[in-house]
Amino acid sequence: MSESGNFIGVFFVIVGLVFAGAGLASAIGVAGGANRRARILQDGVPAEGRCLQTYVTVERRVGSDLSDPGRHVRHTIIGFRTADGRDIRIEETSGVPRVVGDHVPVRYLPLEPHVAMAVDRNPAGQAAASGARVAMGVVFMVVGLIVVVIGIGIASSGFGSGPPHVPGFPAPQEPGPGSYDFP
């Protein structure tokens, strides 16, 4: 086996494992967030919130120039009071247009009131977005595993270790010492 084949194979394995790990972590993170949102909607305590502040930020892609308008993200600060009297503030970026002073229905978990959510959002749209993000994580994971298998194949075959042998034809012979093959 040649050293270059082993190096290339190991490189493919490492890159594939990074892709597979990132895809798996992404899918688990998105699924965990969707599970938490479902738990808040199902078991959460209802509260009446009020829009305290709104602002818009612009997110630009890394490396984009100033001509790129970017993506505008609407942020809303919502305040509510828990059943035991604690004042809680949460920030949401659902994109639902709100004005300071608007009443917003909120649900929260009693042991984690800072993990609350406004319930006037579109849960079907959020479920579809979460499903798409989980699917993208799974795609990354599968691509990473394919690259790992390719890397293992390259490392075990000794990529570049000699001329290929075609079945049915005589195997190529290495020239012996002192033999020269001039045309």
Q: Are the beta carbons of 140 and 26 closer than 8 angstroms?
A: yes
Residue with tokens 């042991």: 111
Per-residue pLDDT of the chain (183 residues; tens, 9 = 90+): 456 657 888 888 999 999 999 999 988 888 888 888 888 888 889 999 999 999 988 887 776 677 777 788 888 999 999 988 999 999 988 778 888 999 999 999 888 888 888 887 666 666 777 788 888 989 989 999 999 998 888 887 765 555 555 566 666 666 666 555 555
Q: Are the beta carbons of 83 and 45 closer than 8 angstroms?
A: yes
- Angstrom distance (rounded) from CA 132 to CA 124: 12
- Angstrom distance (rounded) from CA 42 to CA 142: 33
Q: Enumerate the domain spans of the chain.
A: 3-150
Query: Which residues are 109's β-sheet partners?
Result: 112
